[in-house]
Each structure stands twice: as structure tokens, then as C-alpha cells.
Amino acid sequence: MPKTTFVKGTKVTKEFLNAINAIVFDGADLDGHNPKLTNASFDNSPGALLNDWTAFKNALGVTSTAGLVATYTGGTVTLPTGTIATIAPGTIALANSATNYLYIDRTGTLVASLVYPSIGVPIAQITTVGGAISGSIIDLRPRYQILPVPQAIRVFGGLGGEGSLAVTTGNTVSLSGEHRYTDITVQVGATLTINGSASLYCLGNVQIDGIVNVIPLVKGGQGYFGGLKAQDYPNTAGSGVGGGNSVNQPASPAYDYFASPLGSGGAGGWVAITSTTLGASLTTPRGGNGGGCLIIEAAGTINITGTIRADGENGQGNTSVVQNPAASYTAQISGGGGGSGGLLFFKSLKSITASAAAILSVAGGIGGNGFPNPTTQFSAGGGGGGYLALYSPNNNTTGATLNLSGGSSPYATGFGSVAGGSFGGVGGAAGQPGSSGILVLRSIVPV
């Protein structure tokens, strides 16, 4: 109701009493309504509401100054790592004619970038044109947004909790398992050995100028070892999804790296003993191990000028046959099948470049020779090639050597022998080479 003006004789109504018991500060000319509150209505001393709110509102705020410079206030922020960082007020230079993203990086430093940060605390977005800030500064401070808890989601490239991995010239470093680095460097003349399998997550850039060797991991079939009598000794198949098959059988089919990120082993050698001396023993060829796995995921760039290999192991041949005592039996022995190549899977939010000097290899292993006459039979199949997968917005492999080849078999007449392991390519049956592996170049768009 309209605001009551009291004069002598004005009655106090129940509507008036109800209105003044529900005070509203909206400036309306009604009973119970009062002027709007302003800063002058509040106590501004330290610890009071106005003082605390103003400090909160202005913390890490960004304003423009002349030219390509932005000014920001100080404040505290909780980094994605959980650390609380204190930021002092200051200024920061901006790139011209670009969209600049201001954010606080994992070290607690306010930086400017032309790419929206994959990790960090966003502060502001500023567009510049002709040497000056253009338009309004877009406030990205997370207190004005509903964001997921950082610990509850996986961040592409990781948080870099282990710091920098730098393999310097003349040195060798061995790794396996899962690691999270800020950046990765393998210098010229340095070697990084991956013991079977590793996933490396990188917050920044990856630079491979030296050598990276991925040791074959999945076991090939074992050869026979022990005492003998006149009979056939079956081989053992290679391990893995596409393990090499037994004597005179076709190789296992190829499979995708999402089914298993590892190559498969070749079959072990097959033995037929026709006569033997009492107490004789024999060691026969085993199959080659299947290639291992190296996954690198980087929020920055991946640049390769060196050599990275995840090749399958060669199957053992007649030179590995051990007879004790010598010439104590008559036998036919096949070589071991070659292991398949492994997996090199690289992902970047920016770009992957393999220069003309770079070598990326996931070749299958060579099948082993037979015994005693490898020129006519018993030559094992070679391993199939592996997978080379590159995911980024810009993949450039122009001039680089990409080796996806299957392993060869020493002689085409391989009757009485075993198969190589399969992966991206099919392992060779007896006396046959493995087929080539698969190259996957996939363009992704960061979101």
C-alpha cells in the first residue's frame, strides 16, 4: 500500500503493521519499503562485510592500461595441484592482434598465452588489435563458474608431478609404467630404454633427438629343453592375443591396439626325433617376444628428430640348437617364429612432427632358420608389423622413416615349421613373411 503519512487522527492499520514488519530495501514509496542500500550503508572496516567482499571481488581482477599491457590485482588461488599460491599485483605484456589468455600456471605464476590452457587457473581473455586492447576484458576467474573438482577428472597431459625428464647426451635412462612429467627431452647421443611398456604424460612439450628403445615384452613360445627319445615334441604357441600358431598351422589374425596395446610372440620351434643316444638332451629355438608399448600424451608439442623403436624380437634359429652330447641324435627342428611389432601411440593437443631424420619403427621380428637343413624346410614365419598411431591437430611426418614392415622368413619353403606373432599385421605362417603393420594418423580438435 502507498506509504502512510501520519497526522493527528490517522489510524494505525493492520496492513501498516504487517508492512513495517517485513522491511524491503528497494526504494519504493510504500509502507515497509526503504531506500536501496549503498556502500555508505555498510561498515568498511577490516573484517566487516563490505571490506571483505570488496577484497574478494577485486582479487586477481584484470584491467587495461595503455597499449599492449594489462594490469592485475593480487590475490590467492588454489592451484590444480592443491597448492595455495599468493599472486602479487603487477602488469603483463600482451601479444598484438591476437586473443590472449591470462592464467596462473602450475608454478603459481600469472602468464599470457595464445592457447587456452589445458591446465591452470584461467583469469581473463583479452583481444588486441593494432597495438591496443580491443573491446571488453572477459573475466574467466573460476569463482564465477561452476567447475568440476580437479582431482575428479583426468587432465590431458597430466599435472607434471614428477617434474622434468631430461636424458642428456652420453647417458641412458630406463623406464616402465606410468609417469607424469612437465616436459620430456632425449638429447642427441642419449638413450631412453622402455622396459616393455610405459605411458608418459607430459604437461608441456616432448623433444626426442636421441634414441628410444622399447624392449619386446610379450613372450614367444618356448623351445624344448630336456631329455629325448624318438618321438615328436610339439612346440608351444606364442603369448599374446595374436600369438604364433603351431607347426603347419596358419598364423593368428591381426587385432586392434584397443583390444591390447602390446604385440604377440612367435611360436617356439617344433622337434621330431628319429633316433637318439640314451641320456641325450636338447635345447631348441624359442619364438621371438612380441613388441612392447610406448604411449606419450602431451598437452604441448611432440617433436621427433631421433629414432624410436618398438620392434618385435627375431625368432631363434638353428644356431641356438644345443645338443648334449654332440651329434647324439637325428632330428628335424624348426626355427622359432618372429614376434610382432609393438605399439607407438603419441597424442598431442598441439602438433606432432617427425622430421626427415626421424625413424619410427614397429617392425616384426624375423623367423628363425630350421635344423639341420634350413634351405629346404623348417623355416619359421616372420612376425607381423605393429601399430604407429599419431593423434593431434597437426600431424607432419613428411620425409620421416616409418617402418611398419613384417618380419621376413629366411626361406620360403617352410613346411614343418611354425608361425610368427600377429598385431597390426598378420604373422607369417611357416616359411612366410609377416604382413605390414598399420599407420593411424588422426586429426583431433582440442575442446
Tell me: pLDDT of 10 over 90. Answer: no
- Read off the pLDDT of each residue in 350-359 and give the average, rounded to a whole number: 96
**How many structural domains comprise the chain?**
2
The pLDDT assigned to 146 comes to: 52
Q: In this structure, are 358 and 295 located in the same domain?
A: yes
Which residues contact residue 389 at a Cβ distance below 8 angstroms, ignoring those fewer than 6 apart? 257, 343, 344, 345, 346, 439, 440, 442
Q: What is the pLDDT of residues 384-405, one digit of tens each?
A: 999 999 999 999 999 999 999 9
Which three three-digit cell numbers place residue 76? 590467492
Tell me: pLDDT of 144 over 60. Answer: no
Q: How confident is the model at residue 315 (pLDDT cuts 50, 70, 90)?
A: very high
Tell me: pLDDT of 373 over 80. Answer: no
Q: What is the pLDDT of residues 318-334, one digit of tens each?
A: 888 888 888 777 888 89
The pLDDT assigned to 363 comes to: 98
Q: In this structure, are 306 and 413 located in the same domain?
A: yes
What is the DSSP track for 269-284?
PPEEEEEE-TT-EEE-
Which residues contact residue 107 at a Cβ distance below 8 angstroms, ignoring those fewer than 6 apart? none
Phi/psi of residue 100, nearest 5 degrees: -100, 135
Q: In this structure, are 136 and 263 located in the same domain?
A: no
- Is the distance from CB of 285 to CB of 223 less than 8 angstroms? yes
- Read off the pLDDT of each residue in 22-38 and give the average, rounded to a whole number: 86
| Distances in whole angstroms, Cα of residue 272 to Cα of each of 223, 238, 247, 372, 438 | 13, 19, 11, 12, 37
Tell me: pLDDT of 223 over 90. Answer: no
- Is the distance from CB of 292 to CB of 423 less than 8 angstroms? no
Q: In this structure, are 296 and 225 located in the same domain?
A: yes
Q: In this structure, are 304 and 179 located in the same domain?
A: yes
Q: How confident is the model at residue 125 (pLDDT cuts 50, 70, 90)?
A: very high
Q: Which residue has the cell 628403445?
A: 213
Nearest alpha carbon to residue 420 among 361, 321, 362, 341? 341
* Range with lowest mean pLDDT among 85-89, 155-159, 420-424: 155-159
Strand ranges of the sheet holding 232-233, from the earlier edge strand across to the other edge: 232-233, 271-276, 329-333
The pLDDT assigned to 410 comes to: 85
Domain end, chosen from 125, 152, 179, is at 152
Counting Cβ atoms within 10 Å, is residue 270 exposed (0-12), middle (13-18) or buried (19+)? buried
- Is the distance from CB of 264 to CB of 240 less than 8 angstroms? yes
The pLDDT assigned to 173 comes to: 96
The pLDDT assigned to 44 comes to: 81
- Read off the pLDDT of each residue in 254-279 and give the average, rounded to a whole number: 90
Does 245 fall in a domain? yes
Beta strands in 105-219 (DSSP E): 110-113, 121-129, 132-139, 165-167, 172-181, 184-186, 191-202, 206-208, 211-214
- Read off the pLDDT of each residue in 104-116 and give the average, rounded to a whole number: 86
Tell me: pLDDT of 20 over 90. Answer: no
Q: What is the pLDDT of residues 161-181, one digit of tens each?
A: 788 999 999 999 999 999 999
Which three three-digit cell numbers place residue 326? 654332440
Q: In this structure, are 197 and 70 located in the same domain?
A: no
Does 14 fall in a domain? no
Domain that holds residue 82: 59-152
Q: How confident is the model at residue 25 (pLDDT cuts 50, 70, 90)?
A: confident
Q: In this structure, are 237 and 108 located in the same domain?
A: no
Q: What is the pLDDT of residues 47-59, one digit of tens each?
A: 887 777 777 788 8
Q: How confident is the model at residue 374 (pLDDT cuts 50, 70, 90)?
A: low
- Read off the pLDDT of each residue in 306-322 and give the average, rounded to a whole number: 94
Integer-rounded Cα Rg, in Å, for the chain is: 35
CA distance 243 to 435: 15
Does 17 fall in a domain? no
Higher pLDDT, 348 or 115: 348
Task: Name the 3-class secondary structure at 161.
Answer: coil
Tell me: pLDDT of 120 over 70. Answer: yes
Domain end, chosen from 105, 125, 152, is at 152
CA distance 338 to 435: 12
Does 1 fall in a domain? no
Length of the chain: 447
What is the DSSP track for 407-419?
PP-S-S--TT--P
How far from the centroid of its chain's Cα atoms is residue 404's Cα? Answer: 21
Does 249 fall in a domain? yes
CA distance 151 to 228: 60
Furthest CA-CA distance within the chain: 136
Nearest alpha carbon to residue 361 among 407, 318, 310, 397? 310
CA distance 308 to 303: 12
Q: What CATH number should be reported for the domain holding residue 119?
A: 2.80.20.10
Q: In this structure, are 97 and 201 located in the same domain?
A: no
Tell me: pLDDT of 152 over 70. Answer: no
The pLDDT assigned to 304 comes to: 98
Strand partners, 294: 198, 344
The pLDDT assigned to 253 comes to: 94
Tell me: pLDDT of 228 over 60. Answer: yes
**b/e sequence 402-420, b meaning 16+ C-beta within 10 Å:** bbbbbbbbbbebbebbbbb
- Percentage of the chain with pLDDT > 90? 54
Per-chain mean pLDDT for the chain: 89
Q: In this structure, are 108 and 140 located in the same domain?
A: yes
Tell me: pLDDT of 82 over 80. Answer: no
Q: In this structure, are 199 and 138 located in the same domain?
A: no
Q: In this structure, are 239 and 124 located in the same domain?
A: no
Q: Mean pLDDT: which of 28-42, 142-156, 378-392 is highest?
A: 378-392
Q: In this structure, are 234 and 183 located in the same domain?
A: yes
Q: How confident is the model at residue 361 (pLDDT cuts 50, 70, 90)?
A: very high
Does 42 fall in a domain? no
Tell me: pLDDT of 151 over 60. Answer: no
- Is the distance from CB of 341 to CB of 383 less than 8 angstroms? yes
Which three three-digit cell numbers place residue 263? 604385440
The pLDDT assigned to 350 comes to: 92
Q: How many beta carbons lie within 10 A of that of residue 381, not counting itself?
A: 42
The pLDDT assigned to 1 comes to: 62
Q: What is the pLDDT of residues 233-245, one digit of tens each?
A: 888 999 999 999 9
